[in-house]
Amino acid sequence: MYQKTGKSVKVVSFLPVKNVKSKQTVAYLVLYEDNANIQSILYNFKLISLILFIGLFLLVYLFYLQFIRKKALKETAQEQEKLLELFDKGDIALFRWHNDIHWSVEYVSNNVVSLTGYTKEAFLKGEIEYPDLIDAEDLQNALHELTEAFEKNLDILKHQPYQITTKEKTKKWVEQTTLFIRDEKGKISHFLGYLIDVSKRKKLETQLQQLNEHLKEEIEKRTSEILQKDKMLQEQAKLAAMGEMVGAIAHQWRQPLNSLNINIQNLDDDYEEGLIDKEFIDEFIDKQTQTINFMSQTIDDFRNFFRVDKVKQDFWVKQSIENTLSLVNAQLKSHNIEISLQGEDFMLHGVEGEFQQVILNIISNAKDAIVHNRKEYGKIGIRLKDKKIIITDNGGGIPEEIIKRVFEPYFTTKEQGMGTGVGLYMSKIIIEQNMGGRLHVSNTKEGAEFIIDFIKEG
């Protein structure tokens, strides 16, 4: 055993080292075995192998990554090429240009030739500058849009469509979208943009606009025609109401005229009989004046009814209906028709004469139905309830197959000269459009029921 550094080793053999000349042993070479060292060598060997292995693996992996990256790059390049090919062959021209004084073109797709008539090379060599193609006024606008986009710090700008003049001197409408590309300092270094030929769309838009204008004119023409027709209908409805009214007045006057006639006729006999003295004359004048006043009142009511100054105002429903009834009372009596008005009064807002026209028309229709059906005892009832006016009759009602049509203009079942068919149409317009109410009809057991409803929905 050989002892050194306090570590014990096992000596395997001694080798004497001799001087070549003297043949004297000058030293010994000791071969020894160090167990711990062998283990550590073994251990180190494993470690190195592992490191080598990991290193190798990493290397392979790096190569693999590199390979993948290259492949991906190649694929991206291919994709990009395809994309550019798409622009070359498609309808959208792609531009990339520098933010310099000439806006020098860095890239432009082939199809720029079909848009502008100038080749890609002409742009790349700077023989032609794209802004020169834009119409002067449009260019001003486009530059204005650009300045505004800069000020707002936008990244993308979609210009309003503008016109360009191609090499062949034709005009085209173009829509341009530009992306601002900035350098590390945030300064715009490039622009990337595309141009679309929107001439066809613009042409269609112009056509559409012209068509719209034409349509507008047509609508205005038709509206004025309809208004004209409506005015005519209004006039007709008024005339019809007036006709009905004159019929009513004729009845209203028949009796007082008769009595005036008889009284005047009798004057002769009264004189013969010596009945005429001052008292007689005073009484006579008084009586006849009453009759004349009544007739005069009828005329006043009639005039009120057809007043031309159509002023909207608040009025009491009951009074208004009573005034209308006073005009038709005599006529209804002559047909043996009883009319009643009951319920709570309420206020309405509108042109009173128009409202009375509606009431008169509904009553006249009821009277016509009663007369037509030869009812011996005619009955017309008017009830006021919760802002509703309900008018019923016992004239037999409206046949179900025509009930939906009674509000149509010119719809009448009456003989020629007896009906115009505008009464209910105008009544509906007056109630629904002029007064904000609703007018419906339905049948009861005995006849028709018209409801004028002023209750606001909701």
Ligand X SMILES: Nc1ncnc2c1ncn2[C@@H]1O[C@H](COP(=O)(O)OP(=O)(O)O)[C@@H](O)[C@H]1O
Which residues sit at the interface with Mg ion, rule CB under 5 A?
Answer: 361, 365, 423
- Shortest reach from residue 427's CB to Mg ion, in Å: 8
Q: Cβ closer to Mg ion: 243 or 343?
A: 243
Least separation in angstroms between residue 227's CB and ligand X is 21
Q: Which helix (H) or strand (E) holds 450?
A: strand 448-453
- Residue 420 binding: pick among ligand X, Mg ion, none (C-beta 5-8 Å cut-off by kind): ligand X
| Residue 411 binding target from Mg ion, ligand X, none, CB below 5 to 8 Å by type | ligand X
Total number of residues shown for the chain:
458
- The separation between CA 2 and the C-alpha centre of its own chain, rounded to angstroms, equals 109
Residue partners of 141: CB distance under 8 A and separation at least 6: 160, 162
The tokens of 186 are what?
A: 């945030």
- 366 binding partner (options Mg ion, ligand X, none; Cβ < 5 to 8 Å by kind): ligand X
Residue 369 contact, options ligand X, Mg ion, none, Cβ 5-8 Å cut-off depending on partner type: ligand X
Q: Which helix (H) or strand (E) holds 339?
A: strand 337-343
> CA–CA separation, 426 vs 354, rounded Å?
9
State the nearest-atom distance from the C-beta of 309 to Mg ion, in Å.
25
- Nearer to Mg ion by C-beta: 193 or 423? 423
Count how many Cα atoms sit within 13 Å of the Cα of residue 159 in the half-sphere of its side chain.
26
- Residue number, 67 or 410, with CB nearest to Mg ion: 410
> Minimal CA–CA distance to 437: which of 447, 450, 448, 446?
450
Min. distance of Cβ 310 from Mg ion in angstroms?
A: 21
| Spatial distance between the Cα atoms of 379 and 338, rounded to a whole number of angstroms | 5
Q: Which residues bind ligand X (CB under 6 A)?
A: 361, 365-366, 369, 393, 395, 397-398, 406, 411-414, 419-421, 423-425, 448
Spatial contact of 320 and 355, defined as CB atoms under 8 Å apart? yes
Please state, in angstroms and rounded to a whole number, the distance separating the CA atoms of residues 303 and 314.
Answer: 19
Q: For the CB of residue 438, give the shortest distance to ligand X in the complex, in Å.
A: 17
- What does 448 interact with, of ligand X, Mg ion, none (CB < 5 to 8 A by kind)? ligand X
The option from ligand X, Mg ion, none interacting with 381 (CB < 5 to 8 A, set by class) reads none
Choose the contact partner of 339 out of Mg ion, ligand X, none; CB within 5 to 8 A by kind.
Answer: none
Nearest Cα residue to 378 out of 368, 370, 388, 386: 370
Structure tokens, 213: 């204008």
Task: Name the nearest CA neighbour of 327 among 351, 353, 360.
Answer: 360
In sequence order, what are the beta bridge partners of 97? 105, 191
By a kind-dependent CB cut-off of 5 to 8 A, residue 393 interacts, out of Mg ion, ligand X, none, with ligand X
Of 378 and 395, the one with the shorter C-beta distance to ligand X is: 395
- Rounded least distance, CB 440 to ligand X, Å: 12
Cα–Cα distance measured from residue 414 to residue 361, given in angstroms and rounded to the nearest whole number: 14
The minimum distance between CB 359 and ligand X, in angstroms, equals 12
Q: Measured from the CB of residue 361, what is the shortest distance to Mg ion in angstroms?
A: 5
Q: 256 vs 447, which CB is nearer to Mg ion? A: 447
Nearer to Mg ion, 249 or 363 (CB): 363
Q: Residue 134 gets which letter from DSSP?
A: B
Q: Among residues 93 and 337, whose Cβ is nearest to ligand X?
A: 337
- Quick one: 174 or 439, whose CB is closer to Mg ion? 439
Name the one residue in this structure whose structure tokens are 């009064």.
345
Measured from the CB atom, is 236 or 361 closer to Mg ion? 361
CB of 423 to Mg ion, least distance (A): 3
Whole-angstrom distance between the N-terminal and C-terminal Cα of the chain?
118
The pairing of beta strand 378-385 with beta strand 162-165: unpaired
> Are the beta carbons of 450 and 440 closer than 8 angstroms?
yes
Residue 176 binding: pick among ligand X, Mg ion, none (C-beta 5-8 Å cut-off by kind): none
**In whole angstroms, what is the distance from residue 126 CA to residue 83 CA?**
24
**363 binds, options Mg ion, ligand X, none, Cβ within 5 to 8 A by partner type:** none
Q: Cβ(318)–Cβ(387) under 8 Å?
A: no
Residue 74 host element (H or E): helix 35-89
**Nearer CB in complex with ligand X: 298/392:** 392
**Shortest distance, CB of residue 393 to Mg ion, whole angstroms?**
13
**Nearest residue to the partner Mg ion, using Cβ:** 423
